[in-house]
Amino acid sequence: MRIAFLMAPEGVEQIELTEPWQAVTDAGGEPVLVSTEPGEIQAFDHLDRGETFPVDQVVGEVTAESFDGLVLPGGVANPDVLRLDGTAVSFVRSFFELGRPVAAICHAPWTLIEADVLAGRVLTSWPSLRTDISNAGGTWVDEQVRVCVEGPNTLITSRKPDDLKAFCETFLTEFKKSAG
């Protein structure tokens, strides 16, 4: 199971990267850090700088076809930067077009809004995204983890770092179903 983790060069909430990454690794999968620029990404612990992590592949040089699923970690700045990058937005949209599962936590649904893939879907996020999700045609719910299956697409969402255990368990279950 090869899983893309899409991040901007800085602004990702570190724990929302490291815990899902470790969960994929522990499940025998291959996590791949994809970013909009080569080099390293700068993670954050809320507003404080965290660790840096090496970029494995640049979003413009890779396609969704080479992955079994996509994880979108949050942090406020990370998805805000990604949604302004047309190549990143197209990369996210292509997972939905291919029917590959996508998992997003915290503020990450901002990128999904920009990819125009939320119409008719029920999902959760950090509470401040409620209106944005609603305006994009989605339905926001306040749940620890939400699985929304629409046709061939599976979207797994969670609200915040406190939900990471349930988020990781759920997206791994759903990704394994999809990978066959």
Q: Catalytic residues, which ones?
A: 106-107
Q: Where are the beta strands (DSSP E) in 106-173?
A: 122-123, 139-140, 145-150, 153-158
Count CB-CB contacts under 10 A for residue 7.
30
Q: Residue 118 is encoded by which pair of tokens?
A: 């939320």
The strand pairing partners of 42, in sequence order, are 10, 52
State the Cα–Cα distance between residues 37 and 96, nearest whole angstrom.
23
**Distance of alpha carbon 47 from alpha carbon 38, whole angstroms:** 23
Residue 45: strand pairing partners? 48
| Distance between CA atoms of residues 49 and 77, nearest Å | 12
Contact 60, 87 (CB under 8 A): yes
Distance in angstroms (rounded) separating the CA atoms of residues 90 and 8: 14
State the residue for tokens 């077009």. 97
